[in-house]
Amino acid sequence: MAIIRKLLFPFSLIYDGITRARNELYDQRILKSEKYDLPVICVGNLNTGGTGKSPMIEYLVQLLISQFRIATLSRGYKRKTSGFWQLSGKETAAEVGDEPLQFKRKFPNAIVAVDADRRNGIAQLVGEQAEVILLDDAFQHRKVQAGLNILLTSYDNLYASDLILPAGNLRESREGAKRSNIVVVTKCPPNIKAAEMEKIKVFLKLNKNQKLFFSYISYAEKVTSESSKLTLDELKGKDFVLVTGIANPKPLIDYLKDKDLKFQHRKFPDHHHFSEDEIQRLIKENLVLATEKDFVRLKERLSPSKLFYLPIETKFIEREKDFNRVILNFVKNI
C-alpha cells in the first residue's frame, strides 16, 4: 500500500498546486472570507481524520457552556438530509450525522446544528442568539474566517511528517498550519517526557505567536449502555465484540488489551452506515462494545442490554489552565 501511495506522488503535486492557489486567493482577499462579531472558534486538522476533533469540541463545550450560550456547527458527514438542521436530540444518526447527535445527547442545553454551508449555518445560529460558535472540522472552509483556529495533529501522525493527498493524508500543504492560533498534539502518551515535547515543538516549526499544547485521550473506568454500566474488570472473561467505525481505532484497541480484555474486533470505515446484514450479525452477539459515535448509530437497532460504549475525553498535559485561559480570554474580549 505504501508503495502504491508513493506512485501517486505526481498527483499530490497537482493537488498541492490547486490548494495553494485557492489559499492564495483567500490570503490576497480576492476570494471573500466572512468575519463575525461574535466569537467563532474553528477546530480542524490538516490530516484526514483521526485527530480527536470530537473530544476537543466536547472539551470546549464543557469549558464554556456554564457561562455562554454555546452552539456547535458541523457539516453532518454522510447524513441523508441537506441544508440547515438544528438538532432536538430525537433524530437518528442517518438524518444528522453521528458526531452532531453525540454532541446533542451529551450537552442537551447546547445548540447543535448541521449545515454544509458554514456561512448559512452561522447566520442561522446568530438568529438563535448563540453567543459562541464552535465550528467542527472547518479549517479548510475558508469562506468563513474564525476568530480563533485550533489545529489538531495526532502524536503518531504529525502533519509535518505527512504528504499531500493522495500520496499522503494531508488536505493541504503543511504551510496551512500557519493559519492556526493554537496547535494541539493529540493522543499523546500520558507520560510523555518534556524532552520529547520539545523535540516535537522544534519539528513543527511554529511561529512565535502560535501556542502549542499536548493532550491525551482519557478513557472512562466504566462502559455505558442506555440502561446500565459495567466496570472494565467486569468485562474480563466476557465474550464481546468491539465495533469501531472510526479513522484510527488502534489507541482504543491497545488500551483494552492493556486492560487484559479479550475480544473480537470488527473494523468498519469512518462514519460507517451499518447494513441490515451487519446489524443481524451484531444482534447475535452476547455483548457489543462500540465507540461513542458508533453507539449513536447502533442504539436504535441493537438491544440496550447488550450495546455499550466507552466514554472518552480530552485531557491536557501540564498546561490545561493555560489552554483554558487562552480560550476564555478570546471569548470574553472579542
**pLDDT 10s digits, 127-151:** 999 999 999 999 999 999 999 999 9
> CATH topology of 33-218+315-333 equal to that of 221-310?
yes
All three cell numbers of 208, joined, read 512565535
Which residues share a beta bridge with 231? 222
The string of DSSP letters for 157-200 reads B-GGG--BTTTSSBSS-GGGGGG-SEEEEES--TT--HHHHHHH
Residue 248 has a pLDDT of 87
Residue 1 has a pLDDT of 55
Q: Closest Cα partner for 98 from 135, 63, 54?
A: 54
Residue that has been written with the C-alpha cell 501511495 in this structure? 5
Residue 23 has a pLDDT of 97
Backbone angle region of 137, left / alpha / beta, with phi > 0 → left and psi within -120 to 50 → alpha: left
221-310 placed in CATH 2.50.20: no
- pTM score above 0.85: yes
Query: Residue 145 carries which DSSP code?
Result: -
Phi, psi of 148 (to 5 degrees): -140, 125
Question: Which superfamily does CATH assign the domain made up of 33-218+315-333 to?
Answer: P-loop containing nucleotide triphosphate hydrolases (3.40.50.300)
Below-70 pLDDT ranges, the chain: 1-2
Residues 139, 288: Cα–Cα separation, whole Å: 34
**pLDDT 10s digits, 278-293:** 999 999 999 999 999 9
Residues in the chain: 334
Domain-wise residue ranges, the chain? 33-218+315-333, 221-310
Query: CA torsion, points 258, 261, 264, 267, in degrees to nearest 10?
Result: -40
